[in-house]
Structure 1
Amino acid sequence: MEPPQGFWATLWSCLRFLPFFLGLLLLGIIKGALLFPFVCLIMTLGNSAIIVSLWPVHVVWTYYCIAKAKQLGPILKLVLALGVSVILMLWPPAGIFGSIIVGAIYGFLAPIMATFDAVGEGKANNLIRCFLDGTWSTIKGSCTVVRDVKDICLHSYFSIMDDLRLHDPPNGEPYEIRLHYIPGACLAGLLGVMVDVPMISLIAICKSPYMLFKGWRRLFHDLIGREGPFLETACVPFAGLAIILWPLAVAGAVMASIISSFSLGAYAAVIAYQETSVKMGLAYIISSMSMFDEYSNDVLDMPEGSCFPRYQYRKKVPQRATSFSRPVSFQRENQDAKKAPSRATSFKNSILELNPLKLLDHLFSECKRHGEVLVSEGVITREDIQESRSSKGGSRIISIGLPAYSILQALLLSAKSNTDGLVLSDNTEITTENRPKDTIFDWFFDPLMIIKEQIKAEKFTEEEEIYLSKLVLLHGDSKRLNNLNAQSSSSDQRKRAEIDALARRLQGITKSISRYPTARRRFDDLVKSLSEDLEKKFGSNRSANGSQESQHVRSGIFRIFSQKSFGSDTSTKGHHQEIQEVNNGF
């Protein structure tokens, strides 16, 4: 859909579009007003029951893990226990209040978004879908949120605390607090709050009128010309609500700046403690005002620079751009090269930014695909699936090993394809241009790119790739892992150590991914699917003939697995034949 050209065509398009937009907005508001009490009630009651019932367990386990942590010194444990006490006391009321707010916002806005999305291009039965879309799906979405909160409290929390309790200190020396630097750091933090809070608040308030009128000018220009966010139907509610609620957005930005000024000022205590110098903390206090001023200028497209001086507040590291600003020289060098995207270009024709949740869905679809092959080959056994269902931590072979194995296959494919990004099985390539711009995604994407480059540089042989794949998958089973190490034919100890290090890093990255609440929910679906595949393979009648027969079958299958590669399409058919021979033999 191309935007209209000319004044009269633009005016007619605007007049014809406004009733359509207002009608959909009114219908969405009515649906949201009817649904949000029920959604808010579901999320508030469900999340409150989870938080309150598990709060005593969280309190006891948190203090226990801090006391047993090998990475922390005694003084740091005491300080951390005092700080955690405040968080633990605030967690129940904050969680309940947040559930109320999120439930109300989600219950009101989700039907509105679904109403506009129902009339998108390529949608059938638009009139019926305008009334039905966003009703039952919003109710189910609120139940999903409650499920995710339960996964955070039951799975993610205990996984993080176990890492704190079990990990050894780096270099054999636990972290400890240097007490004689605390008074100077506290003085610098106090001065930072006293100076930065009023100054940063004043800067934000002074620039808020400019932000208000500039935002309105841009949004009304897009509305009249049916450009930018108003070009696509799915984006209309965002843009329409942005016009109405833009003053609230500006007020929210000012409040966020005022709130953030407390942490910016208090960070002077961290600088003074790390640099063992109160002078460096004072230099940071002045520099933080300059950094905030430059950052706000970048956001509002105002002239570069700041009227505040900027000093060097690190002894060993030269002053460089922080997360609040970028170097002026870099800005000027790239000012001409950076061109604003065409406002008349459809979002569908631009670079598609991948969604982290879509990538998570793809990961678990790959786990299902590889898991079905491994189940059919007998690599993943009934015991693995039963363990993943019964135990608290689940089977590491399925919960950690299988996702790490799937990620490794993508890394091997990307390394052989000689691409700059990460190639998925459906030929989708994740690059720096289309990857999600979330900071959390960068925690996983950047290390995976480093591992891919290491794999490309090492130029592993086929046997070494097979060994790495087996090592990644079986890392949770010490018995099978010992058998694998005994059967390894690699005589290069350096190469084998590098393979072991890559396997451990992949296991660590996958363990971090498994802490996402949505990952836990998808993991349960994966276990159910693999269990169904296993039942189809062995059949329910095999268990009635005694456990000795199945034990012989599994030992024969594991013998085949130990001698052959797995996961490759070329060897799957041969494996099936040998497994069938083992089954027939017993």
Structure 2
Amino acid sequence: MESVKGWVAADYAAEPMASVQHSLRVAYVVFSFCAAFFLSGIKAVVVGPVAAAVMIVGNVGVILVLFPAHVWWAIYSLIKTDRINAGLKLAVLLALPVLFGLWLGLGILGSALVGLGYGFFTPWISTFEAFRQESEAKKFVHGIVDGTWGTIKGSCTVVRDFADICFHSYPVYLKELREGSQNREPHSIRLLDVPSCIVVALLGLVVDIPLYTVIALVKSPYMLFKGWQRLLHDLISREGPFLETVCVPIAGLAILFWPLVVVGSVLLAIVSSIFVGLYGAVIVFQERSFQRGVSYVVAMVAEFDEYTNDWLYLREGTVLPKPSYRKRKPSNSTEFSVRTNASGGKGADHPPGPSEAPAMLVPNLAPARSVREAIQEVKMVQIWENMMKSCEQRGRDLLNQNVIMAAGLAEWLRGAKEGGHHETVSLGLPSYSLLCTVLQSIRAGSGGLVLGSFEVNQHNRPQDRLLDWFFHPVLVLKEQIQALRMTEEEVRFLEKLTVFAGNVAGGWENGAGMMVVPQDPVRLAQIQAISRRLVGIVRSLSKFPTYRRRYRHVVKLLIAYSVERESSGRSSASGRSASYFEITQLDV
């Protein structure tokens, strides 16, 4: 009996203690949020103007300096290409002033908005991210340091990547337009359709821009309060981003900044309406009908209203007219469609089709995933880092075998294209690294790709549009290699063919000999097709943002490794290579 009384007394004593602990935990979270909010505000005021000025001046300078070159490259490529006929060339030439005007206006405006947003909000986010550190000392140090110099350095990195896209990726696209017409039927348009395209494009601008703006502005208050309702519900029920205590300050920052997200969504909807309206000219070209082009202009307003209703959980459908503008599904093109995620809108019951309209870029208002679930997803930066580390390791192997030389790497770094090693360094090395990754994944029995210490598959891959263009083709290529069941000699021949970008005359004794070619012509064609696809995938990857900067860093590391190897062979001094790699780690 006495023991029962003791248990009851202990229970009553434990309840106040648990209540006190809960109150202390809440008070700690509130105090931490206020301290981080005050500190991040100071850092944003001090660092924000500098980072924003660097990004705005840098990006706008790149746009203005390269603008004459962009105009000349575009006109020259349009005249030289044989992928389109004279009528379509005339239509594009007439549209170029509008397109370049949009490029200048939206480029400068976008640079200003992105620069201000990045410069002022990165210190806030970095300060609140410091609360994820385990120890209090680390939280204090990272809360002060994070978001200061790193923000300024990040703005410089953005300017560099933007310059690479404008100066390197854009000419590559135009070169493919001029030279990539083999075995392709040229696109053509009748001269009679050119005026129709112009009229429909102008009509699309006049109709879609005002109506998109009105719809976005009318629904923005509902988006504001609906988003706050969703976030507050997660806060009270401790779901989604509020599940973990360390993430509550960051989620609280999301509640405060939600109005800015709504404003950004409205601006993006207005900007997207410009391209939606201009796309009416493409509909006229595809359908050979002025009437269907006008129907497209009208239908896109109804589509936009319908999809924003779905995303904001308003009534289904739309009261606006939605005429049909397709008499057939285009075989070589898809509709210009902008969506935030595959599960938005009507979900699995209404998969996105080729005739869907661009919709307002609004975040998903459905219940968010927990932090534990989000951590399981492989991040894009991890994929980039492991790809570059693989390139570095394969490059070292090729340097040890004297397949590539430090002189060839230095020539590529200086931009020389006359040397015989240019294709090997620019395309052969990353293609060979990708091939080795695919072969390693096949040997490991992986359902995806094995990148270093982790596996990327359909379940944990990042939900990124850029990755979609890369991940699925590689998986298809992996299945094709598996289906071929190549012998060891054929694998060596494929490796050699890939390293030298299709030229098997290169001097690499990798087990395939100097000129060992499969005797079966069908087998040879299959292996050559795989090699071309590998090189083509890497050629497409080389146009992505951050790729050139990261790959140039890998080449510099390989040059340093070659110098260290030669010096260690003469003086047996091998202690500097590791320290150099530690100092020059890849930027995240």
TM-score of the alignment, normalized to the shorter chain, above 0.5: yes
1:428-439 matched pairs, under 5 angstroms: 428-439=454-465
Distance (Å, rounded) in 1 between the aligned partners of 2:96 and 2:416? 25
428-437 or 62-71, larger mean C-alpha shift: 62-71
Deviations 1:415-444 (A, max 9, x none): 344443222232x22222322222222111
Q: Does 1:176 align with 2:176?
A: no
In structure 2, the partner of 1:369 is: 393
Contact 1:514 1:520 in 2 (8 A): yes
Distance (Å, rounded) in 1 between the aligned partners of 2:243 and 2:526? 51
1:122-141 matched pairs, under 5 angstroms: 122-123=134-135, 124-141=137-154
Give the counterpart letter for 2:474 in structure 1: L
Distance (Å, rounded) in 1 between the aligned partners of 2:490 and 2:206? 60
Deviation at 1:468, TM superposition (A): 1.2
Deviations 1:126-185 (A, max 9, x none): 2233222221212222222232233223322332232223323543x4333322223444
SS of equivalent to 1:298:
helix
Distance (Å, rounded) in 1 between the aligned partners of 2:108 and 2:298? 39
Deviation at 1:330, TM superposition (A): 4.5
Contact 2:377 2:462 in 1 (8 A): yes
Distance (Å, rounded) in 1 between the aligned partners of 2:140 and 2:106? 41
Q: Does 1:230 align with 2:242?
A: yes
Give the TM-score taking structure 1 as reference length. Answer: 0.78
Q: Does 1:219 align with 2:219?
A: no
Distance (Å, rounded) in 2 between the aligned partners of 1:485 and 1:61? 43
1:111 to 123, 134, 159: 123
Contact 1:70 1:167 in 2 (8 A): no
Deviation at 1:290, TM superposition (A): 4.2
Q: CA 1:374/1:482 → structure 2, altered by over 3 Å: closer, same or farther?
A: closer
Deviations 1:246-269 (A, max 9, x none): 234334434433443444344344
Q: CA 1:327/1:458 → structure 2, altered by over 3 Å: closer, same or farther?
A: farther
In structure 1, the partner of 2:133 is: 121
In structure 1, the partner of 2:583 is: none
Contact 1:31 1:135 in 2 (8 A): yes
SS of equivalent to 1:354:
coil
1:42-53 matched pairs, under 5 angstroms: 42-53=54-65
Distance (Å, rounded) in 1 between the aligned partners of 2:267 and 2:113? 18
Distance (Å, rounded) in 2 between the aligned partners of 1:253 and 1:108? 19
- For structure 1, which runs of at least 5 residues remain unmatched after alignment? 1-5, 334-339, 543-586
1:423-502 matched pairs, under 5 angstroms: 423-426=450-453, 428-475=454-501, 479-480=505-506, 487-502=515-530
Contact 1:364 1:522 in 2 (8 A): yes
Give the counterpart letter for 2:235 in structure 1: L
Distance (Å, rounded) in 2 between the aligned partners of 1:51 and 1:265? 24
Distance (Å, rounded) in 2 between the aligned partners of 1:53 and 1:184? 35
Distance (Å, rounded) in 1 between the aligned partners of 2:268 and 2:62? 30
Give the counterpart letter for 1:513 in structure 2: L
In structure 1, the partner of 2:581 is: none
Distance (Å, rounded) in 2 between the aligned partners of 1:300 and 1:177? 40
Deviations 1:314-334 (A, max 9, x none): 22339999957999795289x
Give the counterpart letter for 1:371 in structure 2: G
Q: CA 1:36/1:371 → structure 2, altered by over 3 Å: closer, same or farther?
A: same
Q: CA 1:490/1:254 → structure 2, altered by over 3 Å: closer, same or farther?
A: same
Q: CA 1:91/1:310 → structure 2, altered by over 3 Å: closer, same or farther?
A: closer
Distance (Å, rounded) in 1 between the aligned partners of 2:472 and 2:382? 18
Distance (Å, rounded) in 2 between the aligned partners of 1:240 and 1:512? 40
Distance (Å, rounded) in 2 between the aligned partners of 1:304 and 1:156? 42
2:47 to 31, 35, 47: 35
Distance (Å, rounded) in 2 between the aligned partners of 1:350 and 1:517? 24
Give the counterpart letter for 2:432 in structure 1: Y
Deviation at 1:525, TM superposition (A): 1.6
Q: CA 1:9/1:212 → structure 2, altered by over 3 Å: closer, same or farther?
A: farther
Deviation at 1:24, TM superposition (A): 0.3
Distance (Å, rounded) in 1 between the aligned partners of 2:154 and 2:535? 31
Deviation at 1:411, TM superposition (A): 1.7
In structure 1, the partner of 2:584 is: none
Distance (Å, rounded) in 2 between the aligned partners of 1:322 and 1:49? 30
Distance (Å, rounded) in 2 between the aligned partners of 1:69 and 1:332? 40
2:168 to 141, 145, 155: 155
Which of structures 1 and 2 has the larger relative contact order (alpha carbons within 8 angstroms, sep 6+)? Answer: 1
1:142 to 150, 155, 167: 155
1:407 to 419, 434, 438: 434
Give the counterpart letter for 1:240 in structure 2: G
Q: CA 1:31/1:226 → structure 2, altered by over 3 Å: closer, same or farther?
A: farther
In structure 1, the partner of 2:422 is: 395
Contact 1:475 1:481 in 2 (8 A): no
What is the aligned-residue identity percentage? 39
Deviation at 1:110, TM superposition (A): 1.7
Deviation at 1:508, TM superposition (A): 1.4
Q: Does 1:62 align with 2:74?
A: yes
SS of equivalent to 2:131:
coil
In structure 2, the partner of 1:514 is: 542
368-377 or 345-354, larger mean C-alpha shift: 345-354
In structure 2, the partner of 1:565 is: none
Contact 1:204 1:257 in 2 (8 A): yes
Deviations 1:255-286 (A, max 9, x none): 43344344434434422331123443354345
In structure 1, the partner of 2:269 is: 257
Distance (Å, rounded) in 2 between the aligned partners of 1:137 and 1:329? 39
Q: CA 1:304/1:429 → structure 2, altered by over 3 Å: closer, same or farther?
A: farther
Distance (Å, rounded) in 2 between the aligned partners of 1:265 and 1:61? 26
Q: Does 1:165 align with 2:178?
A: yes
Q: CA 1:186/1:482 → structure 2, altered by over 3 Å: closer, same or farther?
A: farther
Deviation at 1:33, TM superposition (A): 0.3
Q: CA 1:76/1:526 → structure 2, altered by over 3 Å: closer, same or farther?
A: same
Q: Across the two proteins, how many residue pairs are aligned to each other?
A: 528
- For structure 2, which runs of at least 5 residues remain unmatched after alignment? 1-17, 352-364, 571-588
Distance (Å, rounded) in 2 between the aligned partners of 1:255 and 1:135? 28
The alignment's C-alpha RMSD in Å is 3.8
Q: CA 1:537/1:200 → structure 2, altered by over 3 Å: closer, same or farther?
A: closer
Deviation at 1:196, TM superposition (A): 4.7
40-49 or 291-300, larger mean C-alpha shift: 40-49
Distance (Å, rounded) in 2 between the aligned partners of 1:29 and 1:450? 49
1:296-375 matched pairs, under 5 angstroms: 296-308=308-320, 312-317=324-329, 330-331=348-349, 346-350=370-374, 352-375=376-399
Give the counterpart letter for 1:154 in structure 2: F
Deviation at 1:213, TM superposition (A): 2.0
In structure 1, the partner of 2:354 is: none
Contact 2:502 2:531 in 1 (8 A): no
Q: Does 1:17 align with 2:29?
A: yes
In structure 2, the partner of 1:552 is: none
Deviation at 1:292, TM superposition (A): 2.4
In structure 2, the partner of 1:584 is: none
Distance (Å, rounded) in 2 between the aligned partners of 1:390 and 1:355? 32
In structure 1, the partner of 2:554 is: 526
Distance (Å, rounded) in 2 between the aligned partners of 1:364 and 1:460? 27
Give the counterpart letter for 2:349 in structure 1: Q
Contact 2:493 2:517 in 1 (8 A): no
Deviations 1:505-532 (A, max 9, x none): 1111101211234211112221122112
